[in-house]
A and B are shown apart, each in its own frame.
Chain A
Amino acid sequence: MSALRAAAFPREPVRARALAGTACVFPDLAEYGHAVFGADPVRLEAQAADPLDRFRLVAPVFVPRRLAKLIDLAREPTYRDVELESVVGGFRSAMPVYVSAFGSTRTMSGDLGLAASRQAGVLGIPLVIGENVMPVNGYGRLGGDAEGTLVGRIRAYAAHVPDGTGGVVVQQSTEDADAEVWNCAYSDPNVQGLLESGRVAFELKVGQGAKPGLGGMTVLDEVAAARLAGAFAIDRPFGSANDMVLRSSSPGTFTEEILRQQVRLMRNNFPRARVWVKLPPARDVRAAAMAAWEAGADAVTVDGAEGGTGWAPLAFLQHVGLPLGECLRRIGEHPSCLLVSGRIWEGARAAKCLALGASAVGLGRAALIALDADAEMGLIHLVECLALELAMIVSALGKYHVAELSPEDVWLPGE
């Protein structure tokens, strides 16, 4: 068992869930009957910095929808009657959850990438494959080892996903245009089954949470860097004696017109694929999201500043970008599918996002930590915990479909 570190993330509870599953949704069973429980004021205090943490979910006494469900079922409904099946960016998904892109971050190369694909498939939830998996790990069609490549991950997903459910989302950003990631996937025989059943999306990566305004960054050794030198900027911030170098992508230049036309071109070139657009937690996030939706994007994904799995300058991790809660507030009412990610690992934060306008939530770091804890079942266990909590919360709010969550279900102290 390795020990993927995640200092800025509740790593231990995620690992516990990955290893033990839904038992971790509750306090330690051994304490049952021997201890009293309640909210932890220290933890509540610590949460104050994150707008989403400051929100509380608040259940009503009067529950007309529970009455409707009672009439429908002819018995009192419980949380087990909550429907979680959702439409996520044009795909039917077992629940309003998807696995975010991890990119080619070293922690994600190789086996964990395949494990993520397999388990997302089993769960019947969409899987996003990071923009630079193909430029860095290869496509995997001609010869060699397909493991960890784009094709390897798509195959692993397709082999496990139930018919009619889920979907695979292939990311591309400005500099990957050189590698024609989308063209490659769209014309590939391995992808045809998913394409024909409407379960492929392409995600235009406009930016990301951990380093809004910067492009992708990876640390590589000199040998790997030399192979990529033509396509990416290579820098040596770690000193000339160090053989590790920094590979940076450009963030890409966008105006409203550039974004609009890129979305249109995607719809033009790939009529059988869904179009997703991933935005950074930028101050004009609403304008960008609206431009993408109006141009016909099936989903806009927003990564809060607390999100991200990859290498980023400390200044960006600590000081740049809007937290997810503020992104949701700025976007407000909107016409189409909004997907969000940023420190999501359990059901309450997911429920708050859904109540505040998201259609689904993405698991990034949490999925990585879970897979690192248990490569066979970690992600499945983690998502089962989240689904159980979500069902309990939705039921407590007097609702029986997860899509019914709305702003009335949350309270922000002071408002």
Chain B
Amino acid sequence: MVLEQSAGRPVPAVPREHLSSPVTKSVLTIQHHMLIAARGFLRDRGFTEMLAPIIGPVTDPGARGAKQVDVDYYGHRYKLMTSAILYKQASLMAFDRIFCVAPNVRMEPLETASTSRHLAEFHQIDVEVAGASQDEIMLLAEELVRHVVRHVMAEVPGELERLGRDTSAFAGLLSGPFGRLTHASAVADLADMGHDQNPAAEIDWAAEELLSRKAGKPFFITDYPKGSRGFYDRESREAPGRLRNFDLLAPEGYGELCSGSEREHDYAVIIARMRETGENPAKYGWYLEMVREGIPGGAGFGLGLERFTRYIAGLDFVWQASAYPKIPGVPLP
């Protein structure tokens, strides 16, 4: 890979070199086949592909520490989507099973420029299912990931080989169910490894990498504490303070690929959760009006396409999985 050094970290070459590099071509070819596989998998299970909006009066506030991008929409302050979550829930008014390949923009904190896995602009394979439980949606995410990996290995093995990806790393992923541990047990494991993880917060980036390096196949971390996620992740009625959600982490140090949850759909609970997450309910007018009249319960997830590509292709940096990468804080075309 042709890299320049800037502030001690590798950054993409200029677009001409990046796009014409054989590495980029292999990566984008793999990504193309990943999308074919994902669409086929979801279509076969009765999903309708929808097109996600790009701007709206509000967007997902649940991106830790990231700034939203404001758009002057005829004098109204609109936002670029940080994720399509609110629209995914709304879309269940039309179909019970939907997905989209949605662009997201997040002005991530500058410290994420060094994690190798954050982009300010990225895509998610966004899936939402009416009536689904936490277990059902996790199983769907697992099957989707396995199907896509299997498809890429079958269709474009030469590209993986050109990139030097050791496909024996996928043996665990292909052969059995993904691992599972709760957030609380992940915190305990991290303590055993000498890492001080705040038990009330997201698994921090260094901790995520530690857990990921130790794993032999993808694994779920479930039941995050309230106070670490957005208002739409459903709180357990049996274990208050725990959310019925999950992250899916890849092994080998690649870290988080996907976040999902059962969704909160009770109007009064959503209002209270908005306040708990420091949000001003007034700005969510259209969404709350819809929730007040009733929306289907369900569950869903967003699978980060560039991160998933990085994992399958075995790349050092997530930006290598984008034709036009935007590294947080770096003004790139």
Binding site for B on A (CB under 8 A): 172, 174-175, 177-178, 180, 183-184, 186-187, 189, 192, 204, 230, 252-255, 257-258, 260-272, 295-296
Contacts and interface: CB of A to CB of B under 8 A. Distances in A.
B200 A262 contact: no
A187 B276 contact: no
B65 A258 contact: no
B81 to A, nearest CB: 15
A265 B276 contact: yes
Interface string B129-146: 000000000000000000
B20 interface: no
What 10 pairs across the A-B complex have the smallest Cβ distances? A264-B227, A261-B276, A268-B201, A183-B67, A269-B64, A269-B65, A258-B275, A261-B227, A187-B67, A268-B228
Given A265-B227, A265-B278, 15 more contacts: A178-B77, A187-B107, A187-B328, A187-B329, A258-B272, A258-B276, A262-B278, A264-B228, A265-B277, A267-B200, A268-B201, A269-B64, A271-B204, A272-B109, A272-B111
Contacts of A262: 275-278
B200 A186 contact: no
Contacts of A258: 272, 275-276
B68 interface: yes
Chain B interface, DSSP helix/strand/loop, else mixed: loop
* Most interface-central of B66, B228, B276, B278 (chain A CB within 10 A): B278
Chain A interface, DSSP helix/strand/loop, else mixed: helix
B108 A253 contact: no
Contacts, number: 92
16 contacts: A177-B279, A187-B67, A187-B328, A187-B329, A192-B110, A204-B278, A230-B76, A255-B272, A261-B226, A261-B227, A262-B275, A265-B227, A265-B277, A271-B201, A272-B109, A295-B200
B280 interface: yes
Contacts of A267: 198, 200-201, 227
B239 to A, nearest CB: 15
A172 B279 CA distance: 11
Contacts of B77: 178, 230
Interface in B273-314: 275-280, 282-283
Nearest to A263: B227
B260 interface: no
Contacts of A264: 200-201, 225-228
